[in-house]
Structures are given as structure tokens and as C-alpha cells.
Copies of this chain bind each other. A is one copy, B any other.
Amino acid sequence: MGDLPWPTDIDPRVEELVTEVIGRVADKWTMVVLDVLAEHGELRFSRLAALSDGISQKMLTQTVRAMERDGLVVRTVHPVVPPRVEYRLTDLGISLAQAFCGVWLWAAANLERIHASRDAFDSRILP
């Protein structure tokens, strides 16, 4: 085994950093926001909230700030009243969205297998 199509001989120090970055970035809301911004381009806060189904204002602010810090989105504040703030992906954010595309497609393609497996597992252990 170990013959998967990617390098396995990575510096463990780098591996640790990568794990940390993935843990940060592979969060539910980050992926949703990433997806929404990838599909719709630049969006204002309230529109982004409406499109990110189920997110709370607090979580959206938090998510989008962390993404800005990581260089995934740019946040443009227009000094007007009422406030107008626009969010869009950076090149880095777009490249991450493309990387996640594989996971997204995998999930879509295997939805039924996963649910079938869950049902089988549950009826195996519960009466």
C-alpha cells in the first residue's frame, strides 16, 4: 500500500502546518461562503448572508473575517451611510474554491452511497 497518486515523503513540520491550514479552511461555513462567492462574484454582506443558507450574522462576520485574514477574500468598505461593504475572492480564494471542487463533486456523486451505508450500519447495530 501507500501507492496513492501523491507524494507521501513530506517534511513532518510542513505536514503539521498543512494540517493546521486545512483544519482552518475546511470548515463548514468557510466552504459555503467560498462556494457562494465563487458562483456569484462580488457580494454585499446582506446578500452574502442570504445566499449562505442557514448562516447567522455572527458566523458570517466571523467566517469572512478569518477568510480575509488568510487572504482568501478582499473586503471593500465604502465609506457611505448606510454602510456598504463588498466581498470578493482573491486569486488565492479562487484557487482554493477550485481545489475544493473535487470534494464537492465527490460529495454530490456519492450522496446515495453514503446514505445507503448509513442506513445499513444503523439497522445492523440498532435493532
Contact = CB atoms under 8 A, between A and B. Distances in A.
Copies, count: 2
Interface string A95-114: 11111111111111011011
Q: Is the interface of A mostly helix, strand, loop or mixed?
A: helix
A23 B28 contact: yes
B122 A110 contact: no
Contact of A104 (B18, B41, B42, B53): B18
Contacts of A116: 71
Contacts of A111: 14, 17-18, 21
Q: Bin chain A's interface residue count.
A: 35 or more
Contacts of A8: 39
Given A1-B39, A21-B110, A71-B121, 14 more contacts: A1-B40, A1-B42, A14-B108, A18-B104, A25-B107, A68-B121, A71-B117, A92-B110, A92-B113, A96-B106, A100-B102, A101-B102, A102-B102, A102-B103
